[in-house]
Structure 1
Amino acid sequence: MLISRRKFLRQTAYATSAIASASTLAACGIFDQSPPTSDAGSEDVTRPATQDKKTLYLYGWATYVNNQEVLEGFTKETGIKVVGDAYDANEVMLAKLETSNGRSGYSIIYPSDYMVSQMRDKKLLTPLNKKLLPNLTNIATNYLELPHDRGAVFSIPVSLGTTGIAYNVEAVKSIVGEEPTDWSYLWQHKNKLRITLVNDPREVIGMALHTLSYSYNSKEESQIEHAFQKLRELMPAIANFSTDAWRDPLASGDLMMCMAFSGDAISLSRQNPNVKYVLPNNGTSIWTDTIAIPRGAPNIEGAHAWINYVMKPEIAAKISDANSFGTTNKLAKSLIPDDLKAIKALEPSETIIAKCDRITKLDPEALQIYDGFWTRLTTGLG
């Protein structure tokens, strides 16, 4: 099951101001429309706030909470039954935990990195007891000092994701010739390309900011406007802004190239050798999925047992195989399937990482600037 990252990096302040306008624009066909959430991902599910210690409720992205092999292995090892509910947006999870006032019934959640800092500020997370996590030594130390949670006080990063370029090899070679190596390729060949960009203002405007040597997280209106003007140059090549609906058209050659999130793109490339995913040589956005314990978790001991379990190398490798993301587990890297391991873009090199940026939380005033230019870009207004 492929996870949509459409709302992965969207912050509550942006979502509040933009959902209504995005819905209107979707009806005009410029945005993709995400499929309805399945029963497994319904935010209407209610879990008991008071539980025995033989059941553990998880709330996270689908490939983390619906992997039956991993869930059943934990039950066999600990005797604890695991029940997983999936969400398709960090904001859904955040809203549920906020309204429950610490009585959501969940003992494990999977927030993305920026959401950890937001939840920490709202005091919605429980500090981790490292004494109960001996397998923490399996996580590469550089991932334990990320700015959203230095020292991994409230969360453990488990998966590594990127934003890059997915492309149809035959279509690109026949029409353009050379294959893409960085974001500048889009502008160099804009008159020959038919592309999509993700339906995410922070990612798209951030990419343009990055190509202009600005930060992905710029708060300067003049810089954001500069990025907007640069993106306008690409409009003749852009078929639409789509985070999910590009896969079939790309595979068939109707689209030549798509801005895509790594899990989605690598999953498709594993199924179709005519599709490749590359990380731009000039850098891109990089992000992590984390695992954490929410405030009021009814099964703290079971939660720590689960976190320690998924940090076992063989389990981390299974999770990486399921979601086609890189892993932060240094001992799991040699255990992931050969076809996945062979994909160079699975995990960026240290050279590429040095050129990358992480999308971080911005204040509402800055987000309004992004929202304004995003609306102008996607509606074709000057």
Structure 2
Amino acid sequence: MLNRREVLLITLMSAIAPFLSSCRTSNNSLVIKVLEDSIPPQLLGDFKKQFPLDRTLDIKPISQLESLYQFLENAVTKDNQKTANLVTLGDIWLEKAIKKELIQPLTVNSLRNWEMLPASWQKLVQRDRNGNLDARGKVWGIPYRWGSTVIAYREDRFRQAGYDPPTDWGDLWREELRDRISLLNQPREVIGLTLKKLGFSYNTPDLDSISDLKTALKTLNQQVKFYSSQSYLQPLILEDTWVAVGWSNDLLQLRTRYPDIKTIIPRSGTALWADLWVNPTGNEAISEAILQWIDFCLNPKAANQIGIFTNASSPIFINANRDKIPKSLGEDKIKNPSSEVLEKSEFLLPLSPKTEEQYQGFWKGMRRS
């Protein structure tokens, strides 16, 4: 016969068992925290058809990339409880996530479609333990979609005024656009596009070595009416500004509703961004289900659906697979820019502490001008 203490223990374990199971994922389940609208419903339906019936697939959409990064931070503070197998992470957060040990490497040997990614995209996610690029480093994420920083403009206002539409970064300095531009509130983006205009890389290691940079930034600031990383589209829609610099996934949402707003990728190249699948720290060995999902997202059919039904593109179409792009997607110059423009474009890569300090100094000086 059980004594009172044993009865209480059994009762307690029975009560908390459901809670414990909800905090962990089993080997037969696949829990994915995904950026909202980055995976089309059609894709999920196709994957479920080939996912084993004895396993559960739980897709949890999250509205912001920043919230997904915060989820990774919070997961570590909860004794590494395994609450998701895969999480969407923006490449700009990859360095920090590695350094803080929020994620763990992925094994790509079993991924049939890893080689579908261009070499430069494979290098993007090969890092050392401090999050720096390392050609011999482990793979810390798998890119599944990408976009770029673009220029949007009011075609109707340019046409009425008799001005040529913008085609490159240098057009932001045109006199007729004074007080008619909205920019992202992002030092890497704004200083980076200015570097590009002057013929330098977004990832220039020493800003002090460029004599014209401070003057160019001061002049650009005089052109700007509005800085924001969240509300930069509103002034363009309301015609308070004629030009906006922003991210392609945001601007592509406006094309149907606002046909007078046109979008271009600057011909001298631009900044690229990628959404990655990452594996949170605390998970056991990479399961077959995780590899199955990643491989599925990198096959041409899935890539087509990502390109057609979301405001981004799949990286597998960047080089050898361009002949497999549907006509409507192939003709889209934002989702499928020319090889020449892509070759001039860059990811925003990790900077040294010294360069980071320079960026902050140049940014403060620009905004005071």
Alignment TM-score > 0.5, same fold: yes
Alpha-carbon distance in 1 for matches of 2:299, 2:73: 31
Match of 2:7 in 1: none
TM superposition shift of 1:334: 4.1
TM superposition shift of 1:367: 2.1
Out of 50, 74, 77, the position equivalent to 2:47 is: 74
TM superposition shift of 1:118: 4.2
Out of 278, 286, 294, the position equivalent to 2:280 is: 294
- Whether 1:348 and 2:337 are equivalent positions in the alignment is yes
Alpha-carbon distance in 2 for matches of 1:94, 1:224: 38
- Whether 1:106 and 2:120 are equivalent positions in the alignment is no
Out of 17, 22, 32, the position equivalent to 1:58 is: 32
Out of 230, 234, 245, the position equivalent to 1:244 is: 230
TM-score by length of 2: 0.78
Alpha carbons of structure 1 residues 168 and 112: separation in structure 2 relative to 1, 3 Å:
same
- Contact 1:320/1:336 (<8 A) preserved: no
| Matched position secondary structure for 1:64 | coil
TM superposition shift of 1:271: 3.7
TM superposition shift of 1:143: 3.0
Alpha-carbon distance in 2 for matches of 1:217, 1:97: 32
Out of 215, 219, 229, the position equivalent to 1:229 is: 215
Alpha-carbon distance in 2 for matches of 1:351, 1:371: 32
- Contact 1:58/1:84 (<8 A) preserved: yes
Identity across the alignment (%): 24
Out of 300, 320, 327, the position equivalent to 2:307 is: 320
| Matched position secondary structure for 1:318 | helix
- Whether 1:303 and 2:290 are equivalent positions in the alignment is yes
Match of 2:183 in 1: 197
* Cα offsets for 1:280-308 (capped at 9, x unmatched): 11222123222232332357322112112
Letter of the 1:230 counterpart: A
- Structure 2: 5+ residue stretches without partners: 1-19, 128-134
Match of 1:13 in 2: none
Letter of the 1:82 counterpart: D
Alpha-carbon distance in 2 for matches of 1:325, 1:64: 8
TM superposition shift of 1:193: 5.8
TM superposition shift of 1:205: 1.0
- Contact 1:293/1:303 (<8 A) preserved: no
Alpha carbons of structure 1 residues 253 and 341: separation in structure 2 relative to 1, 3 Å:
farther
Alpha-carbon distance in 2 for matches of 1:94, 1:205: 29
- Contact 1:116/1:148 (<8 A) preserved: no
Alpha carbons of structure 1 residues 58 and 227: separation in structure 2 relative to 1, 3 Å:
farther
Alpha-carbon distance in 1 for matches of 2:79, 2:354: 28
Q: What is the number of residues matched between the two proteins?
A: 333
Alpha-carbon distance in 2 for matches of 1:341, 1:221: 37
**Which of the pair is proportionally richer in strand?**
2
Higher radius of gyration, 1 or 2:
2
- Contact 1:136/1:308 (<8 A) preserved: yes
Letter of the 1:75 counterpart: K
Say what the alpha-carbon RMSD is for the aligned residues: 3.1
